[in-house]
A and B are shown apart, each in its own frame.
Chain A
């Protein structure tokens, strides 16, 4: 018997159905929305923190340090208050997240060459805001001290200049958006494929197909190929969105990126088929899809750095295909990495592709019970 009997017939039929399916337009709307929502909402650069100042000194020195704080753009000076109690009240009310207190003897102490203290109160209830405020204010303090220690006008003895490679402005969009491409691609392909097959089971057409001599592999591949093509069109669409909406430039080889994207689509599509062999209806398929989505978003390194995860979770993250694809995306897009640098990830994806495609073809039966 021909192993691929009916392959072209299934592809052709699937194409007609995709074209007629009103939900096809969501295939492009969903990534657009996801890109906008995720891309803009997960902006981890904390800037413009509402800050109030209690300047009890009102000297040249005190105004200088407030100006320096404001210049970092981390702090937005939203008002002046008279006492520490006012600061606390504003922080509790949520109208300010940081309060800067400059004691009355600040300028005088500095002039005398003594140690002067500036107190910074930070609202710890939002950890990333708090971290940023603490870091920045410490930096400003250091800068002031060094400048004073080096005597006015004289150059600092040690001039430390950091240069950040690959993402010079440390824009978090550059970090999140390439990875977002992988997450979006996985969401769409897993659900599309799972639904495409579960729908056939729900409507009884799978039963009709099962009494024909169509081969299992033709049926599976005939389903995979059209959705892989849709997935590729989507990849390109999402990459264009990344370029146009967020200005993220692809440093590396675009064709390598597309080729490895195909490699990632295989395990993603196979997961869709696996779901469809377990789920009886679209609602169940939806729930199982979610079950796969959550670890993919949380553990793949897309949202949180994997290096900081507890060991068991870190180990688990190796079992998620999108983990490797996220590394590939960041590698090629941000660092301009070539295949020689990404071969471990490439091999891992190839492994997942083989295992999942085989597993899904074994589970997929031309029987209904």
Chain B
């Protein structure tokens, strides 16, 4: 009970079926107030479906979800004043201007007169869309549409905001601006639930969850997840190799007994190597192929490593190299 009391979102055994197909399978997690929860998973894994159930748009087949202690199934209407939502696909009125959209949603949320104008100016300032206030929403570029959607979701100062892929297809500067805004909101106590496909965004979240084939396979703080024994099995460590001809190098290293995994990360290679494989072993193997290694260092697993390892374990296909 006490855990639930200071949690913004508590989800228990949430399941949604579409006919015979289970889009979300027995998902449970808890998100604290002011957290930024990053929700990741491949296309079609069920992220949007989870968000839609939490917003009261879809009825869960089974399971419960509490938002601010209120049961979504039992009382979907009374959570609506407390949440903001931007959907994956732009879903504001394209034939209304930026300003008209903001004013419309402001009125819908019950804002009036001076307060309405104050909030409009505040959210337009926050996302920096003031220059486009008179433009039809349909004529905005993708990035500005996203910012408008966020502005409309912030109008009523909700406790919890759901953002379904807010940064998909927007430029790096806009992406950073948006994350700065999210941090600002989070430090003011707003809980954020964000889906994304970007690992660097996941690294910035206070908590992350990874959903795979409709099942939540891992959930927790990035630091905790990276320390999981399944991610770096006992007797193994992670190394980063900086070298030329990294594609060929990858092929060579994958053939080495004792190297459990080798993946390309940009120009570098990440290895999961048994402890008895030394730096010299790796250099030697590469030199036999005529490749010079510039640097080899031990590294922390990234969140991507975490998701890759756990997905493989979950799918039950330990790849043999």
Q: Which residues of B contact A208 (CB under 8 A)?
A: 85, 87, 91-92, 152
Contact with A17, one of B58, B83, B93, B108 (Cβ below 8 angstroms): B93
Contact with A16, one of B57, B90, B91, B96 (Cβ below 8 angstroms): B96
In the assembled complex, the Cα of A10 lies from the Cα of B109 at a distance in Å of 12
Cβ of B157 under 8 Å from chain A? no
Cβ of B208 under 8 Å from chain A? no
In the assembled complex, the Cα of A17 lies from the Cα of B100 at a distance in Å of 11
Q: Which residues of B contact A209 (CB under 8 A)?
A: 108
Cβ of A368 under 8 Å from chain B? yes
Q: Which residues of B contact A212 (CB under 8 A)?
A: 80, 105, 108-109
Q: Which residues of B contact A6 (CB under 8 A)?
A: 107-108, 110
Q: Please determine whether B90 and A210 come into contact, CB atoms closer than 8 angstroms.
A: no
In the assembled complex, the Cα of A12 lies from the Cα of B93 at a distance in Å of 13
Closest to B82 in A: A213
Check A210/B57 contact, CB under 8 A, given A13-B96, A204-B91, A205-B93: yes
B8 to chain A minimum Cβ distance, whole angstroms, is 16
Cβ of B135 under 8 Å from chain A? no
Closest to A18 in B: B95
Q: Please determine whether A367 and B77 come into contact, CB atoms closer than 8 angstroms.
A: no
Cβ of B52 under 8 Å from chain A? yes
Closest to B91 in A: A204
Q: Please determine whether A213 and B108 come into contact, CB atoms closer than 8 angstroms.
A: yes
* Interface residues on chain B, size class: 20 to 34
Cβ of A369 under 8 Å from chain B? yes
Check A367/B58 contact, CB under 8 A, given A1-B77, A9-B104, A9-B108: yes
Q: Please determine whether A368 and B58 come into contact, CB atoms closer than 8 angstroms.
A: yes
Q: Please determine whether B109 and A367 come into contact, CB atoms closer than 8 angstroms.
A: no
- Chain A CB within 10 Å, residue with most, of B56, B89, B107, B108: B108
Q: Please determine whether B57 and A367 come into contact, CB atoms closer than 8 angstroms.
A: yes
In the assembled complex, the Cα of A9 lies from the Cα of B96 at a distance in Å of 13
* Interface residues on chain A, size class: 20 to 34
Q: Please determine whether A207 and B108 come into contact, CB atoms closer than 8 angstroms.
A: no
Q: Please determine whether A213 and B96 come into contact, CB atoms closer than 8 angstroms.
A: no
Cβ of A203 under 8 Å from chain B? yes
Cβ of A214 under 8 Å from chain B? yes
Q: Please determine whether A368 and B52 come into contact, CB atoms closer than 8 angstroms.
A: yes
- Give the contacts of A14-28 with B (CB-CB under 8 A): 16-17, 20-21
**How would residues 65 to 84 of chain B score, 1 for a CB under 8 Å from any chain A CB and 0 otherwise?**
00000000000111011010
Contact with B91, one of A1, A8, A203 (Cβ below 8 angstroms): A203
Check A211/B81 contact, CB under 8 A, given A13-B104, A17-B93, A203-B91: no
Q: Which residues of A contact B57 (CB under 8 A)?
A: 207, 210-211, 367-369
B168 to chain A minimum Cβ distance, whole angstroms, is 15
In the assembled complex, the Cα of A88 lies from the Cα of B57 at a distance in Å of 73
Cβ of A306 under 8 Å from chain B? no
Cβ of A335 under 8 Å from chain B? no
Closest to A17 in B: B95
- Chain A CB within 10 Å, residue with most, of B52, B56, B91: B91
Q: Which residues of A contact B89 (CB under 8 A)?
A: 204
In the assembled complex, the Cα of A5 lies from the Cα of B77 at a distance in Å of 12
Residues of A within 8 A of B (CB): 1, 5-6, 8-10, 12-13, 16-17, 20-21, 203-205, 207-214, 366-369
Please provide the 8 A-B residue pairs with the shortest distance between their CB atoms, ordered closest to farther.
A204-B91, A9-B107, A208-B91, A213-B80, A211-B85, A6-B108, A212-B108, A211-B55
Subset of 11 A-B contacts with CB under 8 Å: A10-B108, A13-B104, A21-B95, A207-B57, A208-B87, A208-B91, A211-B56, A211-B57, A211-B80, A367-B59, A368-B58
